[in-house]
Amino acid sequence: MSKKQSVNAASFLDLKAELAKHEDAFTKSKLSGKANAEPVVGGSKRPEKKRPAWARENKGVRDRARRDAEMAQISRPTLESARAMLERKAQLYDQLQKGKGAGLSEKQRESLLIDFDSRDSGSDTDSNGDRDESLVVPGQDEDDPVIEYEDEFGRIRTARRSEVPRDRLPENYNPFSRSERSVPADDE
Protein backbone atom coordinates (compact mmCIF):
# COMPACT_ATOMS: atom_id res chain seq x y z
CA MET A 1 0.00 0.00 0.00
CA SER A 2 1.00 3.53 -0.19
CA LYS A 3 2.72 5.48 2.41
CA LYS A 4 0.72 7.83 4.47
CA GLN A 5 1.41 11.39 3.56
CA SER A 6 1.81 13.77 6.32
CA VAL A 7 -0.67 16.61 6.40
CA ASN A 8 0.37 19.58 8.39
CA ALA A 9 -0.38 23.28 8.64
CA ALA A 10 2.29 24.24 6.08
CA SER A 11 0.69 22.13 3.34
CA PHE A 12 -2.71 23.76 4.05
CA LEU A 13 -1.15 27.21 3.70
CA ASP A 14 0.48 26.23 0.40
CA LEU A 15 -2.87 24.97 -0.87
CA LYS A 16 -4.63 28.20 0.16
CA ALA A 17 -1.94 30.31 -1.55
CA GLU A 18 -2.30 28.31 -4.77
CA LEU A 19 -6.09 28.71 -4.65
CA ALA A 20 -5.84 32.49 -4.10
CA LYS A 21 -3.46 32.78 -7.07
CA HIS A 22 -5.92 31.00 -9.38
CA GLU A 23 -8.84 33.14 -8.14
CA ASP A 24 -6.89 36.34 -8.84
CA ALA A 25 -6.00 35.16 -12.33
CA PHE A 26 -9.66 34.32 -12.95
CA THR A 27 -10.95 37.74 -11.81
CA LYS A 28 -8.26 39.52 -13.89
CA SER A 29 -9.21 37.57 -17.02
CA LYS A 30 -12.88 38.29 -16.34
CA LEU A 31 -12.25 42.03 -16.03
CA SER A 32 -10.07 42.13 -19.15
CA GLY A 33 -12.93 40.89 -21.32
CA LYS A 34 -12.13 37.23 -21.49
CA ALA A 35 -15.23 36.36 -19.47
CA ASN A 36 -16.57 34.00 -22.12
CA ALA A 37 -13.31 32.13 -22.33
CA GLU A 38 -13.91 28.81 -20.73
CA PRO A 39 -11.12 27.26 -18.74
CA VAL A 40 -9.29 24.49 -20.50
CA VAL A 41 -10.33 21.17 -19.07
CA GLY A 42 -8.51 18.03 -19.88
CA GLY A 43 -5.69 19.77 -21.70
CA SER A 44 -7.47 20.49 -25.02
CA LYS A 45 -9.62 23.42 -26.03
CA ARG A 46 -13.13 22.82 -27.30
CA PRO A 47 -13.78 23.78 -30.92
CA GLU A 48 -16.10 26.74 -31.52
CA LYS A 49 -19.69 25.92 -32.35
CA LYS A 50 -20.96 26.48 -35.89
CA ARG A 51 -22.65 29.80 -36.41
CA PRO A 52 -26.36 29.59 -37.28
CA ALA A 53 -27.43 30.07 -40.90
CA TRP A 54 -28.96 33.52 -40.28
CA ALA A 55 -25.73 34.76 -38.69
CA ARG A 56 -23.52 33.59 -41.58
CA GLU A 57 -22.65 35.84 -44.50
CA ASN A 58 -23.93 34.85 -47.94
CA LYS A 59 -21.44 33.27 -50.29
CA GLY A 60 -19.84 35.80 -52.62
CA VAL A 61 -21.68 38.83 -51.24
CA ARG A 62 -18.49 40.86 -50.98
CA ASP A 63 -17.49 39.98 -54.54
CA ARG A 64 -20.93 40.98 -55.82
CA ALA A 65 -20.84 44.27 -53.94
CA ARG A 66 -17.41 45.04 -55.38
CA ARG A 67 -18.59 44.20 -58.93
CA ASP A 68 -21.72 46.33 -58.49
CA ALA A 69 -19.61 49.29 -57.38
CA GLU A 70 -17.35 48.87 -60.42
CA MET A 71 -20.33 48.65 -62.79
CA ALA A 72 -21.86 51.78 -61.26
CA GLN A 73 -18.63 53.68 -61.86
CA ILE A 74 -18.47 52.43 -65.44
CA SER A 75 -22.13 52.97 -66.33
CA ARG A 76 -22.54 56.45 -64.86
CA PRO A 77 -20.24 58.17 -67.41
CA THR A 78 -21.72 56.03 -70.17
CA LEU A 79 -25.27 57.10 -69.32
CA GLU A 80 -24.27 60.74 -69.01
CA SER A 81 -22.46 60.71 -72.34
CA ALA A 82 -25.38 58.94 -74.05
CA ARG A 83 -27.82 61.51 -72.65
CA ALA A 84 -25.60 64.38 -73.86
CA MET A 85 -25.33 62.78 -77.31
CA LEU A 86 -29.11 62.37 -77.57
CA GLU A 87 -29.71 65.97 -76.49
CA ARG A 88 -27.25 67.17 -79.13
CA LYS A 89 -29.02 65.08 -81.78
CA ALA A 90 -32.40 66.48 -80.70
CA GLN A 91 -31.11 70.04 -81.08
CA LEU A 92 -29.70 69.20 -84.52
CA TYR A 93 -33.01 67.62 -85.57
CA ASP A 94 -34.96 70.68 -84.39
CA GLN A 95 -32.67 73.00 -86.35
CA LEU A 96 -33.02 70.87 -89.48
CA GLN A 97 -36.78 70.74 -89.08
CA LYS A 98 -36.97 74.54 -88.79
CA GLY A 99 -35.03 74.87 -92.04
CA LYS A 100 -31.70 75.95 -90.62
CA GLY A 101 -28.56 74.35 -91.95
CA ALA A 102 -27.39 73.19 -88.52
CA GLY A 103 -23.77 73.35 -89.68
CA LEU A 104 -24.07 70.46 -92.14
CA SER A 105 -22.37 70.43 -95.51
CA GLU A 106 -24.34 69.79 -98.70
CA LYS A 107 -23.00 66.25 -98.90
CA GLN A 108 -24.11 65.54 -95.34
CA ARG A 109 -27.57 66.98 -96.04
CA GLU A 110 -27.92 64.70 -99.08
CA SER A 111 -27.02 61.64 -97.02
CA LEU A 112 -29.82 62.29 -94.50
CA LEU A 113 -32.64 59.76 -94.52
CA ILE A 114 -35.30 62.46 -94.06
CA ASP A 115 -35.83 65.17 -96.65
CA PHE A 116 -36.33 68.18 -94.40
CA ASP A 117 -36.76 70.56 -97.36
CA SER A 118 -39.89 68.94 -98.80
CA ARG A 119 -41.32 67.87 -95.48
CA ASP A 120 -44.28 69.78 -94.02
CA SER A 121 -43.02 71.24 -90.76
CA GLY A 122 -46.53 71.64 -89.32
CA SER A 123 -47.45 67.99 -89.00
CA ASP A 124 -45.36 64.93 -88.26
CA THR A 125 -48.05 62.38 -89.13
CA ASP A 126 -50.71 61.83 -91.75
CA SER A 127 -53.38 64.49 -91.38
CA ASN A 128 -56.22 62.03 -92.04
CA GLY A 129 -55.17 59.58 -89.33
CA ASP A 130 -55.44 61.86 -86.30
CA ARG A 131 -58.69 63.62 -87.16
CA ASP A 132 -61.61 63.09 -84.78
CA GLU A 133 -64.47 61.91 -86.96
CA SER A 134 -67.10 62.71 -84.34
CA LEU A 135 -66.43 66.43 -84.85
CA VAL A 136 -67.01 66.24 -88.61
CA VAL A 137 -70.57 66.98 -89.70
CA PRO A 138 -71.64 64.44 -92.30
CA GLY A 139 -72.93 65.68 -95.63
CA GLN A 140 -76.61 65.51 -96.58
CA ASP A 141 -77.67 62.12 -97.84
CA GLU A 142 -81.00 61.87 -99.66
CA ASP A 143 -81.47 58.20 -98.78
CA ASP A 144 -80.74 58.67 -95.07
CA PRO A 145 -82.30 61.95 -93.86
CA VAL A 146 -81.86 63.45 -90.39
CA ILE A 147 -85.08 63.07 -88.42
CA GLU A 148 -86.40 63.93 -84.98
CA TYR A 149 -87.55 61.13 -82.67
CA GLU A 150 -88.46 60.63 -79.02
CA ASP A 151 -86.08 58.39 -77.05
CA GLU A 152 -86.94 56.03 -74.17
CA PHE A 153 -86.65 58.87 -71.64
CA GLY A 154 -89.07 61.15 -73.49
CA ARG A 155 -86.39 63.45 -74.90
CA ILE A 156 -86.54 64.75 -78.45
CA ARG A 157 -83.42 63.68 -80.38
CA THR A 158 -82.12 64.19 -83.91
CA ALA A 159 -80.25 61.48 -85.77
CA ARG A 160 -80.00 59.81 -89.15
CA ARG A 161 -82.94 57.57 -89.92
CA SER A 162 -80.66 54.52 -90.13
CA GLU A 163 -79.39 55.18 -86.59
CA VAL A 164 -82.82 55.42 -84.94
CA PRO A 165 -84.23 52.17 -83.45
CA ARG A 166 -87.30 50.90 -85.35
CA ASP A 167 -89.58 51.13 -82.34
CA ARG A 168 -88.68 54.82 -81.92
CA LEU A 169 -89.22 55.88 -85.54
CA PRO A 170 -92.01 58.42 -86.03
CA GLU A 171 -95.09 57.06 -87.81
CA ASN A 172 -94.48 58.92 -91.06
CA TYR A 173 -91.01 57.24 -91.38
CA ASN A 174 -91.92 53.79 -90.06
CA PRO A 175 -93.53 51.52 -92.63
CA PHE A 176 -94.29 48.92 -89.94
CA SER A 177 -96.13 51.22 -87.54
CA ARG A 178 -99.83 50.74 -86.90
CA SER A 179 -101.78 53.74 -87.76
CA GLU A 180 -105.35 54.27 -86.72
CA ARG A 181 -106.44 54.18 -90.34
CA SER A 182 -104.90 50.80 -91.11
CA VAL A 183 -106.48 48.97 -88.18
CA PRO A 184 -109.89 47.58 -89.10
CA ALA A 185 -112.70 48.63 -86.84
CA ASP A 186 -114.72 45.98 -85.05
CA ASP A 187 -117.97 47.98 -84.95
CA GLU A 188 -118.64 47.92 -88.65
Note whether residue 87 is domain-resident. yes
What is the total count of domains within the chain? 2
Q: What pTM value is reported for the model?
A: 0.26
For the chain, percent helix, then strand, then coil, each to nearest 5?
40, 5, 55
- What is the residue-wise DSSP string for 66-89? HHHHHHHHHHHHHHHHHHHHHHHH
Q: Range of 158's domain? A: 145-177
Note whether residue 140 is domain-resident. no
Note whether residue 1 is domain-resident. no
Q: Compute the distance between CA of residue 171 and CA of residue 188 in angstroms, rounded to an integer.
A: 25
DSSP-derived 3-state class of residue 63: helix
Note whether residue 100 is domain-resident. yes
Q: Compute the distance between CA of residue 168 and CA of residue 150 in angstroms, rounded to an integer.
A: 6
Which range in 47-51, 94-98, 102-106, 161-165 is most confidently predicted, on average pLDDT? 161-165
Note whether residue 162 is domain-resident. yes
pLDDT tens by residue, 136-163? 666 666 678 888 999 999 999 999 888 8
Note whether residue 97 is domain-resident. yes
Note whether residue 42 is domain-resident. no
Note whether residue 79 is domain-resident. yes
Q: Compute the distance between CA of residue 98 and CA of residue 96 in angstroms, rounded to an integer.
A: 5
DSSP-derived 3-state class of residue 97: helix
Which residue spans within the chain are E strands per DSSP? Answer: 146-150, 156-160
